Chains A and B, each alone.
Chain A
Amino acid sequence: MPSRINYYWRILATGCCFACFGLGGFALSITILPLIRLMPASAERKAELSQYVVHHSFRLFIRLMCGCGVISVTIVNPEKLGNAGGHLIVANHPSLIDVILVISMLKKSACIVKQALWRNPFLRGVVSAAGYISNTESRAVIDESAAYIKDGGSLIVFPEGTRSVSGQPLKFQRGAANIALLAGKNIIPIIITCEPPSLRKNERWYNVPRASRMLFTVRVGETIDVAAFASETHSLAARRLTRFLENYYQQEIPKNEHFNTRDQNADYRVPGPRGYHP
Chain B
Amino acid sequence: MQNKDDIYAELKNMLVEFFEIDEALISMDARLYEELDLDSIDAIDLVVKLQQKIGKQVSPEEFKTARKVGDVVNIVYDLIRQ
CB within 8 Å of B: which residues of A? 138-139, 142, 174, 178, 232-236, 238-239
Contact = CB atoms under 8 A, between A and B. Distances in A.
A236 B15 CA distance: 10
Interface of B: 18-20, 39-42, 44-46, 48-49
A234 B41 contact: yes
B20 A174 contact: no
A177 to B, nearest CB: 10
B75 to A, nearest CB: 19
Nearest to B20: A239
Given A233-B18, A235-B42, 7 more contacts: A139-B40, A178-B39, A178-B41, A234-B41, A234-B45, A235-B18, A238-B41
B41 A232 contact: no
Contacts of A234: 41, 44-45
A239 B45 CA distance: 13
Nearest to A243: B20
B33 to A, nearest CB: 10
B20 A233 contact: no
Q: Chain A at the B interface: mostly helix, strand, loop or mixed?
A: helix
A142 B41 contact: yes
B57 to A, nearest CB: 19
Q: Chain B at the A interface: mostly helix, strand, loop or mixed?
A: helix
B20 A236 contact: yes
Contacts of A239: 19-20
Given A234-B45, A235-B45, A138 B40 contact: yes
Contacts of B44: 234
A236 B46 CA distance: 11
A139 to B, nearest CB: 4
Contact of B45 (A138, A174, A233): A233
A197 B47 CA distance: 45
Contact of B18 (A139, A142, A178, A232): A232
Nearest to A181: B41
Contacts of B48: 233
Contacts of A238: 41
Contacts of B46: 235
B20 A139 contact: no
B72 to A, nearest CB: 15
A91 to B, nearest CB: 21
A178 B49 CA distance: 18
Nearest to A239: B20
A174 B39 contact: yes
A236 B18 contact: yes
B40 A233 contact: no
Nearest to A141: B40
B32 to A, nearest CB: 12
A236 to B, nearest CB: 6
Contacts of A174: 39, 41
A234 B40 CA distance: 12
B49 A233 contact: yes
Contacts of B42: 235
Contacts of B45: 233-235
